[in-house]
A and B are shown apart, each in its own frame.
Chain A
Amino acid sequence: MVTICNKDIPNELNELTIQQFEDITEIHANQKLDNVEKHLEVFKYMGVPEVEDMEFEDFKEAIRLFNTAKTPEGILLKRFENDGYTYQAYDQDFKLTAKDTKHIEKILASKHKGFISEALAVIFKRTDLSKTEHYTDAHIKLKSKIIREMPAEVAVPYLVAIAETINKQVESLNESTEGLA
């Protein structure tokens, strides 16, 4: 938590929800805004529109404070409970399956609002449901709604793991196709 304009606003990944993390990510991805505008929008979103009237030096300090959030430890949450159901990402070691990777890549490529929680919704599977049910659109939407309320520290390690998996796949192919006409 940091105090800006006498208001306490969450900045740590265990304080922000995935929904907030997604909204902030979306502001930062908006190419129509320059860097200053992006930060202004983030502060407005976090409930401190007063930053607009700040001296520039104070504004810079507010940005610095907000960005002091610690990097999460990289622990991949194994499972969580909601409404009596268990949602499990993995049992022993986390490994993306081909089916998960296919769905996640499509979600990430579309970059639509809420894509982070949707990607996590593919990974976390309700233990009482069948393989087919895990991936239906309606079920993914429902799961992402639940996941959006969870802390952002759950999402970040998974985003890193997904990126690493896909990069590994690309690198492996690049190595094998070097010199191919």
Chain B
Amino acid sequence: MKVPKGWHEVKLYQFKELRELKDSEGFFNTQLETLAILLDVPSDELEELSLDEIGELFKSVKWVLSEPKKAHANEVIIDGDTYILKPFKKLTLDEFIDLNYFLTNDYLKHISHIVSVFYRRINTDNWGNIEFEPYVFNPFDVFDKFDDLNITQVYGLIPEFLKWRDDFLKKYENLFNQDDDEDDEPLDVKEFDSLEEYKESLKAQEQAKKSKKWGWESLLFDLCEGDLTKIKAVGELPLIFVFNMLSMRKEMGYLETPKG
């Protein structure tokens, strides 16, 4: 059994398994399962050890109770292929939408999916410009290829991207619904002067809820002006370009659907 010395020896798939462990099974079971994951052996194998041996082994991996270092590599090698980190500002709309999905739906479980969007193979064109592998794959089909990377090669990517995303969305906040929290609050009829006014507000609230639910779909629908055959092409556009265009349309009063 090879005992890892730190997070730098832990693979992505192991990290995901560790994060999926439930404390509800008890202290010792969590300890045993943690060791089984880190040592890459079935937990049955460890059950043959004495409690003292288990305790000693766990002490040697106590670093697992802290967070991995928030760093990331700019390139990684998988099966002899080099994958380069795509700069955030070069993301396309499709990539951004998928990243948002993974980040808001248990991002630790989807960490390999996230990594598959960021790290891409590259080509250099005749003029020496770098071209990133197109986003024609589904992260659900390729994520396991990234499972053998070490967690410290990619872990820092998430907080860095979250910060970038926050700053980015702040820049374009006028495109998004401002009163997200208010959408969820039930309206009190007593606060309105007339029943018509109450009904109007109720309708507006329902509309806002729908916009929130269908945020990205309605954005794509707006951008392709209702022509669904253009959605693929719109998704491939650079994110920053799309948001600049949306801002322009909003300022000019052409944008009908509030985003968010």
Contacts and interface: CB of A to CB of B under 8 A. Distances in A.
Interface of A: 95-99, 101-102, 105-106, 108-109, 165-166, 169-170, 172-173, 176-177, 180-181
Given A98-B48, A99-B47, A99-B48, 4 more contacts: A97-B51, A172-B55, A180-B66, A181-B66
Given A173-B59, A180-B62, A180-B65, A106 B26 contact: yes
A176 B103 CA distance: 34
Interface in B16-75: 24-29, 31-32, 43, 46-51, 53-55, 58-59, 62-63, 65-66
15 contacts: A96-B51, A98-B47, A98-B48, A98-B51, A98-B54, A99-B47, A99-B48, A102-B32, A102-B47, A106-B26, A109-B25, A166-B27, A169-B31, A173-B31, A176-B59
Chain B at the A interface: mostly helix, strand, loop or mixed?
A: helix
Contacts of A177: 62, 65
B56 to A, nearest CB: 9
A98 B50 contact: yes
A172 B28 CA distance: 12
Interface string B164-181: 000000000000000000
Interface of A is mostly: helix
B224 to A, nearest CB: 49
Interface string B135-171: 0000000000000000000000000000000000000
Closest 10 CB pairs of A and B: A105-B26, A99-B47, A176-B59, A109-B26, A98-B47, A105-B28, A177-B62, A172-B55, A101-B28, A181-B66
Contacts of B43: 102
A173 B25 contact: no
Interface residues of B, number: 24
Given A98-B32, A102-B29, A165-B51, A173 B62 contact: yes
Interface of B: 24-29, 31-32, 43, 46-51, 53-55, 58-59, 62-63, 65-66
Contacts of A165: 51
A166 B51 CA distance: 9
B54 A106 contact: no
Given A106-B25, A181-B66, A173 B55 contact: yes
A98 B66 CA distance: 25
A173 B58 contact: yes
Given A97-B50, A98-B49, A166 B62 contact: no
Contacts of A166: 26-28
A162 to B, nearest CB: 10
A105 B27 contact: yes
A105 to B, nearest CB: 4
